[in-house]
Amino acid sequence: MKIVLVSSGWIHPPFRGRSVLRRLLAQMPDIELQQAASMENTPQNWDHLTALVLYIHHKRISDAALAKFERFVHQGGGVLAVHSATASYKNRPQYFEILGGRFTGHGAVESYTVSPVTQDIFSGIEAFTIRDEMYQHEMHTGVTVHFTTRVGGEMVPVVWTTTYGKGKLCYLAPGHTPSSLQHPAVQAILRRALAWVCGQ
């Protein structure tokens, strides 16, 4: 499987977090991993690409790159989006239609418990506690929520999946702190999510 990790930055997303995610992906079997700093700097030919992993906090995307991304997912490409991916390209509604949610805000970095609400893709991964920012989102219809946490008396999505055309997408909210990406449960979710968006 050919995977491109689109990620850049030192603070948001953090350099250490990016290193953790890159090592996790590189250790997975049957993966040919490439890296790109932005959507515009990905390989020219996506015909044999299986999935994109987005761990970014970018303000702008070119019309050509967005059209290429939309076409890739619609035709069956997979997307694993992490943390600030939903806070990128805020002026592009089509991007958020593909991801299934739009970032609206977050609180302080603090400990919170993540609890499963489904028993399918992530069956067997039990509730766990991490220390991170808790992103909150405006959600699109058709999204399946797999893990939640409680924020101000309300259950807020932490992990969700959705489809766009023939493509599959999974989003994971943690990722502001490198330690959250090192948590065994988060790494298990990332592995299963990537397998799912790749059609395994």
43-62 as b/e: b if 16+ CB within 10 A: eeebeebbbbbbbbbbeebe
pTM above 0.75, yes or no: yes
Mean pLDDT value across the chain: 94
Distance separating alpha carbons of residues 37 and 197, to the nearest angstrom: 21
What percent of the chain clears pLDDT 70, i.e. is strictly above it? 100
Query: With 90 as the cut, is the pLDDT of residue 12 above it?
Result: no
For 39-55, how does the pLDDT look when each residue is reduced to its tens digit (9 = 90+)? Answer: 999 988 898 899 999 99
Instruction: Write down the pLDDT at residue 47.
Output: 86
Instruction: Write down the pLDDT at residue 151.
Output: 85
Instruction: Write down the pLDDT at residue 157.
Output: 95
Contact by Cβ (8 Å): 168, 147: no
Query: With 90 as the cut, is the pLDDT of residue 118 above it?
Result: no
Can you say whether the dihedral through the CA atoms of 78, 181, 126, 100 is positive or negative?
negative
* Helix (H) or strand (E) segment spanning residue 53: strand 51-55
Query: With 90 as the cut, is the pLDDT of residue 66 above it?
Result: yes
Domains of the chain (ranges plus CATH)?
Answer: 2-197 (3.40.50.880)
Distance separating alpha carbons of residues 146 and 126, to the nearest angstrom: 11
Residue 151 is classified by DSSP as: E
As a whole number of Å, the CA-based R_g of the chain is 15
Mean pLDDT, range 161-181, rounded to an integer? 96
Nearest by Cα to 148 from 169, 138, 134: 134
More confident residue, 151 or 190: 190
For 74-113, how does the pLDDT look when each residue is reduced to its tens digit (9 = 90+)? Answer: 999 999 999 999 999 999 999 999 999 999 999 889 999 9
Instruction: Write down the pLDDT at residue 13.
Output: 92
